[in-house]
Structure 1
Amino acid sequence: MTWNEAKDIIYNSIWKQNQGVVAILGMCPVLVMSSNIINGVSLGLATSIVMLISGAAIAAIREFVPNELRAPIFILIIAALVTMVDLLMNSYVHELYLVLGIFIPLITTNCIVLARAEAFASKSPVAHSALDGFFMGLGLTLVLAVLGAMRELVGKGTLLSGIDLVFGASAKAWVIHVVPAEYNYQFLLAILPPGAFIGLGFLIAGKQALDRRAEAKAKMLAKLTPREDQLALTHE
C-alpha cells in the first residue's frame, strides 16, 4: 500500500464518507451514547478496534468464502471480536461497561461494521481493509466525541464527566466544570435524545457548509491564471 492510497483511505474515512455525518449510519448508538464525551469516545474506540481486526480478518479469507455464505461468516467473525471486547471491558473497566450496557454487544449488528466488511474488506487487501476499518471507526468516534462534548457542555456545564469510570476515582479531579458545580446547572433538552438529534443536525450542516466553501474555493482557483493562482496562495 502506497502513502497516497493510505491518505485516500484516511480522508474518505474521516471526512468524505464519515459514517456519522455523511452516511448517517449507526444512529442508535450515536444518539444514545453521545450524552457525554467519555461514553461516546469509549463506544467509538471499541467499535474501531472491532472494525480494524474484522476488516483484516475478512480480507484475509475473502477468496475462500462462498458468496452465499458471506453474510453469516462475516457476522460470526464480528460477533467473536465483539465478545472479546465485551469481556475485556467487563474485566478492566467494569463501571464503564455497565454504563455502555447493551450497546457493546450491539456492535455486532451495527450496520457500519457489516457495511464496511461487505463493501470494502471483502474486495480489498488486508492492509487496506484494516486501515479502512480503523479509520471508519475513528471517524465515528470523532462524531461521538464532538456531539458528546456539545451535549455535555450545554446540558450539564461540564466536560469529561465520567472519566473516573475509565481511570479510577482519582480522575474525578480531571472533570472540567465550565459552569461551577455549586450552581447545579442542568439543561435536560441537551442531555435527552432530542438534544442528540439537534446536535447531530448542527454537525451535518457544519460539514456541508465547509464542503461547499472548499468546493467554491477550488472552482475559484481553477479559473485563475497560473500567475494569479500563485499570488492567491501567497496571500493566504
Structure 2
Amino acid sequence: MSTTSYREIWSEGLWHNNVVLSQMLALCPLMAVTTTASNGLGMGLATLVVMLFSNMLVSMLRGIITPQVRIPVFIVLIAAMVTMVDMFLNAWMHELYKVLGLFIPLIVTNCAILGRVESFASKNRVAPSLFDGFAMGVGFTWVLVVLGAIREFFGSGTLFADASLLLGHWASVIEMDVFPNYGGTLLLILPPGGFICLGLMLAGKRVADRVIAARESIRNEQTGTAMEGTA
C-alpha cells in the first residue's frame, strides 16, 4: 500500500470518517463516560486497543473465515479482545475500572469496531488493517477527550481530574483545579449537556469542512489558471 493510501487512512480516521463526528456511532459510551477528560481518555484508549487487535486478527484470518459465518466470528473475536482489556483494567487500573464500569464490556456492542472489521480488515492485509484500527481509535479517542474536557471545564471547573488513576502518579501534574471555588454547572455533567456539547462540535466540524473545501477550490482554480497561462 502506498504512502498516499496510508495518509488517506489517517485523515479518514481522524477527521473525514470520524467514528463520532461523521458516522455518529458509539454515542452511548460517549455520553456516559465523558464527564471528565480522564474518563474519556481511558475509554478511548481501551476502544483503540480493541479496534487495533480486532482488525489485526480479522485480517490475518480473512482467508479462512467463510462469508456465511463471518459476522458471528467477528463478534467472538471482538468479545475476546474486550474481555482481555476488561481483565487488564480490573487488575492494573482498578480505580479507573470502577469508574468506567459496565461500559468496558459494552465495547463489544460498539458498531464502529464491527463496521471497520467488516468493511476494511476483512478485505485488506495486516499492516493497512492495523493502521486503520489505530487511526479510527485515535479519532474516537480525541473526540472523547475534547468532549470530556469541555464538559469537565465548564461543569466542574477542573481538567483531567484523577488522571493519575489512568496514567500513574506522574500524571498528577496535569490535574488542574481551574476554578477552586466554582460551584459547577450540573447541566453539562448530565447527558443533555453532553448532547449540547456534541452538537456544537458537529457544527464546528461542518464549518471547518466548508472552509477547507472553499480553500481547496480556490487553490485548484489558481492552479488551473497558472497552467493555462503557462500553456
1:20: Cα distance to partner? 0.8
CA distance in 1, matches of 2:17, 2:182: 40
Q: CA deviation at 1:163?
A: 1.2
Runs of 4+ in 1 over 6 A off after TM superposition: none
Q: Which amino acid aligns with 1:137?
A: G
Structure 2 unaligned regions, length at least 5: none
Q: Which residue of 2 aligns with 1:30?
A: 30
Deviation at 1:222, TM superposition (A): 2.1
Secondary structure of the structure 2 residue equivalent to 1:64: coil
1:114-170 CA-partner distances (Å, limit 9, x unpaired): 111111111111111111011101101010011001000000111011213224567
Aligned letter for 2:175?
A: V
**CA shift for structure 1 position 218:** 1.4
- Tell me the SS of whatever aligns to 1:63: coil
> Counterparts of 1:136-147 in structure 2 under 5 Å?
136-147=136-147
C-alpha contact (below 8 Å) 2:157/2:182 kept by paired residues? no
Deviations 1:61-100 (CA, angstroms, capped at 9, x unpaired):
1121111100110011111111111111111100000100
TM-score by length of 1: 0.91
User: Could you tell me which residue of structure 1 aligns to residue 198 of structure 2?
Assistant: 200
What is the alpha-carbon root mean square deviation over aligned residues?
1.8
Distance change in 2, residues 1:157/1:106 (3 Å): same
- What is the match of residue 159 of structure 1? 159
Task: Tell me which amino acid in the other structure corresponds to 1:96.
Answer: L
- Measure, in 2, the Cα distance between the counterparts of 1:217 and 1:167: 40
Task: Identify the residue that residue 50 of structure 1 maps to in structure 2.
Answer: 50
Identity %: 43
Match of 1:221 among 213, 216, 219: 219
Q: What is the rounded CA distance, in whole Å, between the counterparts of 1:222 and 1:212 in structure 2? A: 15
Residue 8 of structure 2 aligns with an amino acid whose one-letter code is D
Number of residue pairs matched? 227
Structure-1 separation of matches of 2:25 and 2:172: 33
- Between the aligned partners of 2:54 and 2:48, the Cα distance in structure 1 is 10
Whole-angstrom distance in 2 between the partners of 1:214 and 1:169? 41
Deviations 1:3-54 (A, max 9, x none): 2221111011111100111110011011111111110011111101111111
Amino acid at match of 1:54: S
Amino acid paired to 2:116: R
Unaligned runs of 5+ in 1: 228-236
**TM superposition score normalised by structure 2:** 0.93
Deviations 1:190-232 (A, max 9, x none): 11101110000011110110110011111122222228xxxxx
Asked if 1:14 corresponds to 2:19, the answer is: no
Give 1:57 shift: 0.6
